[in-house]
């Protein structure tokens, strides 16, 4: 037994010795192996950096964690006479760079996608600006940018508001102003926290000011934030300053590291929208005097909120705006907003505020250092096009640094006093000098809503980014499903009749759904319908799910040319359509009465049409689906037709083009039919121009009418193609989809 044990110990020692020898051999071989193309002349990054320091007599500062396990291919081939060129050659493939701290001293850092050199930033702004030469061209560009920005932030459809009252805490009355801490629920179980400042005494309605915070230490608790908030309140406005996502009290729910996730940009925008919703609903809020001011990261947020929310009338981005800096945090540039319009930058987004009053504060100590030389000229051009040059003000402080110091605050006070009609005298000394420091500075915990240790955080609070991410996705999905107006396309008009490509193209064009055709009729007893085949149908449903596209209707377009009122086999075709609807969970079908059953031209067919539609109606009622018919009759005549059919499952698939070509008033026709009789709408007209260029349709008036009627449902684009490019489906249907979404789905 002992001998066996001794043997095992010797064997174990032998294995360890062999393993150590193997590791030593491997290390020696790796270290001293001949460098050649077989191993890509590969060297460890740390070794290369040490060699560069010796060779060029420089110091490179870095943490070991930055270079561990990193290698440089073709290392020796990257050396040049100039050390900075060499470093760029070595580090660029690794998405790394160095920053020069002083002569011959560099600090290793990671590649910063958001920071460009001045010349490159200016050249990019020049390229962007070259796309429009007139105010009309600019306004068209602006109109296209906004929906893209919203889409990039996943806010095309705002998640439904929880609708709860804010949680309030620690109301206090100060000298000339009041403060009340407040948490506003932006998603179920998710809050944005801040403090609402108001003047102590006021009459009537007062301006509303949003004050999002940047990345400075102490955030909204720091002295300069308290100075700014109190001063603007004393001047006569209500002001709400608030935390960024995963900062301040938000860290009770999410880790500080979550602030650097791309979704932070979306959540901060949603938070500001929710705050504005609440404030503007107050009886003392003047909705015509709404402003936003923020510095650094809060300044970037100020720029984007002003571009996206038309309720904001005055803006003041402080020490942030630059054509060569896109925001140093994912909360400023984490979503793909800058790809919009073939790429944009923060200057162009800031220009979207024009012609509204905008104060741009810049300084000599950060990336705004050269604002007056180039970037300001671009903004001035846009404002000049609008004839509002005086509404743009730049206060440049070349000897100051990146902060929210008194000079910056003073500029904001004077600008807001002018454009919000505030009383500057309330913060002026006897000699007229502005003094904003004569207030009581409070400790951090005075601003808490949920208690000193978060003990008052509601029990249903969401905690953890994974749960938040899922919640947000679910809320967006629910909002889409509950969207009042949805925009649909038609596979037949996309030249992809009953083809999977129609679904993917619909997704690419950003429409909400697609109407799938049942196939041709010809001399067959029923449609040439492949969707009753299980494998085909499953492919359609799966493709729709993958592309986030709804198949909202099945179309019996074969009856455009064939006779619904004359074919003996009509029942079978209706049965096949309804069976397919049930298998695909589609609730509406389209049935055109077509040329051969045109009741206007052939009134003698009326009895036959009504008799058949009564049969179809009963079949649809049994299956709990709806069949939408399209006729050439007036709205008044269609109301009578539906009465005679007498089935709640037969409704009108209204087409804008029908009354328009007959000279009837579109709005009156909609009102006559009313909400209950219209199942879907062909939001289209003749093939000559896009909907946005069609002089016959005032789409804003159409929406107002449908809103007043209480109607909601699918707006389906059939034609309205540009006569110059009638067969370019992406060109035509992409433009019409974007236009209808702008009219019917933009909430703010």
pLDDT digit string, tens, across residues 147-174 = 899 989 999 888 989 999 999 999 999 9
Of the candidates 408, 345, 402, 393, the one whose C-alpha atom is nearest the C-alpha of residue 369 is 402
Look at residue 597 and tell me if it is in a domain: yes
The whole-number pLDDT of residue 35 equals: 84
Residues 659 and 608 in one domain: yes
Residue 450 has which token pair? 């949920």
Number of structural domains (the chain) is: 4
* CA–CA dist 111, 320 (Å, integer): 20
Instruction: Calculate what percentage of the chain has a pLDDT beyond 70.
Output: 95
The whole-number pLDDT of residue 120 equals: 95
3-state secondary structure of 27: helix
Mean pLDDT, the chain, integer: 92
Give the residue numbers spanning the domain of 297.
137-474
Instruction: Give the domain CATH number at 672.
Output: 3.20.20.150
Please state the pTM of the whole predicted model. 0.76
pLDDT digit string, tens, across residues 42-97 = 999 999 999 999 999 999 999 999 999 999 999 999 999 999 999 999 999 999 99
> Which residue, 474, 491, 507, sits at the end of a domain?
474
pLDDT digit string, tens, across residues 260-313 = 999 999 999 999 999 999 999 999 999 999 999 999 999 999 999 999 999 999
Residues 284 and 193 in one domain: yes
Look at residue 216 and tell me if it is in a domain: yes
CB count within 10 Å of CB 398 equals: 12
Look at residue 123 and tell me if it is in a domain: no
- The residue-averaged pLDDT of 350-355 equals 98
* Residue 339 phi, psi (nearest 5): -85, -10
The whole-number pLDDT of residue 354 equals: 97
Of the candidates 634, 642, 637, 640, the one whose C-alpha atom is nearest the C-alpha of residue 665 is 634
> Which residue, 474, 496, 521, sits at the end of a domain?
474
Least confident of 84-88, 432-436, 489-493, 557-561: 557-561
Residues 362 and 497 in one domain: no
Write the DSSP string, 219-285: GGGSHHHHHHHHHHHHTT-EEEEEPPTTSGGGGGTS-GGGGGSTHHHHHHHHHHHHHHHHHHTSTTE
The whole-number pLDDT of residue 483 equals: 82
pLDDT digit string, tens, across residues 199-225 = 999 999 999 999 999 898 888 999 999
Confidence check: pLDDT of 413 > 70: yes
pLDDT digit string, tens, across residues 363-402 = 999 999 999 999 999 999 999 999 999 999 999 999 999 9
CB count within 10 Å of CB 704 equals: 12
- Asked if 512 and 480 count as a contact pair (C-beta separation under 8 A), the reply is yes
The whole-number pLDDT of residue 345 equals: 97
pLDDT digit string, tens, across residues 630-684 = 998 999 999 999 999 999 999 999 999 999 999 999 999 999 999 999 999 999 9
Per the rule left: phi > 0, alpha: psi between -120 and 50, beta: everything else, 161 is beta
- The residue-averaged pLDDT of 687-700 equals 92
3-state secondary structure of 511: coil
Categorize the per-residue pLDDT at 747 as very low, low, confident or very high, splitting at 50, 70 and 90: low
The whole-number pLDDT of residue 742 equals: 87
Residues 245 and 151 in one domain: yes
Residue 258 has which token pair? 């979550």
Instruction: Give the domain CATH number at 61.
Output: 3.55.50.30
Look at residue 707 and tell me if it is in a domain: yes
* CA–CA dist 732, 723 (Å, integer): 10
The whole-number pLDDT of residue 598 equals: 86
- Strand-pairing partners, residue 626, are 588
């Amino acid at each position: 037994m002992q001998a066996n044990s001794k043997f095992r110990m010797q064997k174990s020692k032998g294995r360890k010795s062999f393993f150590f020898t193997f590791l030593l051999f491997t290390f020696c071989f790796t270290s001293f192996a001949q460098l050649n193309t077989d191993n890509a002349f590969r060297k460890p990054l740390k070794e290369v950096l040490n060699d560069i320091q010796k060779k060029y007599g420089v110091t490179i500062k870095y943490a070991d964690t930055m270079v561990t396990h990193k290698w440089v291919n073709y290392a020796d081939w990257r050396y040049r006479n100039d050390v900075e060129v060499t470093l760029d050659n070595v580090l660029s493939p690794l998405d790394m760079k160095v920053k020069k701290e002083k002569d011959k001293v560099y600090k290793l850092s990671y590649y910063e996608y958001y920071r460009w050199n001045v010349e490159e930033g200016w050249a990019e702004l020049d390229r962007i600006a070259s796309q429009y030469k007139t105010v009309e061209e600019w306004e068209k560009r602006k109109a296209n940018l906004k929906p893209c920005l919203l889409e990039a932030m996943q806010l095309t459809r705002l998640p439904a508001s929880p609708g709860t009252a804010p949680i309030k805490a620690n109301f206090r009355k100060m000298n000339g102003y009041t403060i009340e801490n407040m948490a506003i629920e932006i998603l179920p179980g998710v809050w944005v926290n801040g403090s609402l400042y108001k003047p102590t005494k006021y009459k009537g309605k007062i301006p509303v000011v949003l004050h999002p915070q940047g990345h400075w230490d102490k955030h909204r608790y720091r002295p300069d934030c308290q100075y700014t908030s109190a001063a603007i309140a004393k001047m006569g406005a209500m002001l709400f300053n608030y935390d960024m996502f995963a900062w301040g009290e938000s860290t009770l729910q999410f880790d500080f590291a979550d602030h650097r996730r791309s979704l932070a940009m979306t959540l901060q925008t949603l938070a500001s929208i929710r705050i504005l919703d609440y404030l503007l609903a107050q009886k003392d809020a003047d909705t015509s005097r709404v402003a936003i001011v923020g510095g650094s990261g809060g300044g970037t947020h100020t720029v984007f909120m002003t571009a996206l929310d038309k309720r904001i009338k005055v803006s003041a981005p402080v020490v942030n705006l630059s054509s060569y800096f896109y925001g140093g945090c994912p909360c400023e540039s984490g979503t793909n907003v800058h790809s919009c319009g073939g790429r944009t930058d923060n200057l162009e987004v800031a220009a979207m505020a024009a012609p509204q009053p905008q104060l741009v504060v810049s300084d000599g100590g950060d990336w705004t250092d050269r604002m007056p030389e180039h970037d300001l000229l671009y903004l001035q051009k846009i404002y000049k096009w609008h004839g509002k040059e005086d509404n743009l003000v730049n206060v440049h402080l070349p000897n100051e640094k990146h902060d929210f110091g008194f000079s910056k605050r003073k500029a904001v006070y004077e600008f807001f006093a002018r454009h919000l009609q505030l009383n500057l005298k309330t913060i002026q000394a006897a000699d007229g000098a502005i003094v904003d420091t004569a207030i009581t500075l409070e400790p951090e915990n005075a601003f808490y809503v949920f208690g000193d240790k978060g003990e008052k955080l509601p029990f249903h609070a969401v905690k953890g980014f994974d749960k938040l991410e899922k919640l947000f996705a679910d809320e967006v999905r629910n909002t889409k499903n509950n969207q009042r107006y949805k925009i649909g396309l038609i596979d037949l008009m996309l030249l992809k009749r009953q083809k999977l490509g129609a679904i993917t193209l619909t997704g690419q064009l950003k429409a909400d759904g697609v109407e799938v055709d049942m196939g041709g009729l010809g001399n067959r007893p029923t449609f040439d319908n492949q969707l009753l085949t299980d494998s085909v149908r499953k492919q359609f449903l799966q493709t729709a799910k993958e592309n986030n596209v709804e198949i909202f209707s099945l179309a019996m377009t074969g009856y455009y040319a064939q006779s619904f009122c004359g074919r003996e086999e009509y029942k079978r075709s209706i049965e096949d359509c309804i069976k397919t609807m049930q298998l695909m969970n589609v609730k509406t079908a389209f049935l055109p009465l077509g040329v051969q059953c045109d009741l206007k031209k052939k009134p003698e067919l009326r009895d036959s049409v009504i008799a058949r539609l009564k049969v179809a109606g009963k079949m649809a009622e049994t299956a709990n689906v709806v069949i939408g018919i399209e006729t050439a009759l007036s709205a008044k005549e269609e109301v009578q037709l539906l009465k005679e059919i007498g089935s709640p499952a037969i409704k009108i698939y209204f087409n804008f083009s029908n009354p328009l070509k007959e000279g009837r008033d579109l709005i009156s026709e909609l009102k006559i039919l009313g909400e209950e009789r219209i199942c879907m709408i062909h939001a289209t007209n003749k093939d000559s121009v896009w909907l946005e260029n069609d002089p016959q349709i005032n789409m804003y008036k159409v929406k107002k009418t449908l809103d007043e009627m209480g109607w909601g449902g699918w707006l389906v684009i059939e034609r309205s193609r540009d006569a110059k490019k009638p067969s370019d489906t992406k060109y035509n249907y992409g433009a019409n989809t974007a236009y209808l979404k702008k009219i019917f789905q933009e909430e703010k």
